[in-house]
Amino acid sequence: MSVTTWEVIFEIFKTFIAFSFGLLSSYLINKFTQMKRRERIKKFYISWISFSLDSFEKQCLYLDKHIINLKINSNESLTFNNSQLSKLESIDNEELFFTFVIKNKGIQELNASNFHKLGHHVEFLSISIQSVKERFEVYKINIRGWNEEWINGMNLFKDLIGKHLVENKNSEIELDLIDKILAIKNRFEKSKKVDEINVDDIKNHLFLPIRGVLLSNSSGDRFTHDFLLLIDSLLHLCRKRNEIFNSYSDIIKHYIIQIRQTIVKIRTILDYFSE
């Protein structure tokens, strides 16, 4: 039986339909796969930033506690969280832009603006923590130098009292002066635990009272002169310690405020893209 022209045309038509359907199916499957991939990227990006924000909020609490403890203990350490923001660097920026700006619902100009702000804010958080680390290293160098001066000064403080006791053990006037100084020293040491003592306590309850006793000593001997110079030197170190602390703490407090404000801004943008 011979094949008619219409049968040939029909077979060609069936082949064309099958081929077209195959292309359409491949196209739709590919589009669906891309759409699902974009959804996964978007969800991952948003959820990972949210996770990192929790870490930054905890870091702010660490910084708050750090500043409080540092007022008492100049050698207080600083704990740093790992925010894991670096994991987001592996995502292609062009694909992110396409996902959050081009294919995201809403006005593209607004999408683009929010996406740009989001990237800027996330970058600021990473930079700010690195800056805090650098400031902390500078503080440690400054306070290490101060500690050396402080230890030397306090050793001289003890040595000068001990030396004067030995040299004037038979002088009632000089022993009376030493007794007054030691009474102030002992009273101060009994009233404070070692880990509670800070330079303001030492200045107000040890150095200044002793300075008052020395100034009231009418003899004006060498010991009084040398001890007054030492006390004034130690008072200067107290002021220097406060200057180092205040300068550092003011900077850290500023970063804490900026980080917390940035976290609020990021959460607002994440809410926008999550809708």
CA 211 to CA 201: how far, in whole Å?
A: 15
pLDDT for the residue 265: 94
pLDDT digits (tens, 9 = 90+) for 186-215: 888 777 654 455 788 888 888 899 889 888
Q: What confidence category does residue 235 fall into, taking pLDDT thresholds of 50, 70 and 90?
A: very high
DSSP 2: P
pLDDT digits (tens, 9 = 90+) for 40-99: 777 877 888 888 888 889 999 999 999 988 877 777 788 887 666 665 554 556 777 777
Q: What confidence category does residue 256 fall into, taking pLDDT thresholds of 50, 70 and 90?
A: very high
pTM score, whole prediction: 0.74
pLDDT for the residue 97: 75
Question: By CB neighbour count within 10 A (0-12 exposed, 13-18 middle, 19+ buried), where does 169 fall?
Answer: exposed
Among the listed residues 27, 24, 26, 28, the one whose alpha carbon sits nearest the alpha carbon of residue 16: 24
User: Nearest 5 degrees, angle CA 252-CA 253-CA 259?
Assistant: 85
**Count of structural domains, the chain:** 1
pLDDT digits (tens, 9 = 90+) for 133-192: 999 999 999 999 998 998 999 899 888 878 777 676 666 656 777 788 888 888 887 776
- Token pair for 204: 């107000």
pLDDT for the residue 42: 78
User: Which domain range does residue 99 map to?
Assistant: 1-275
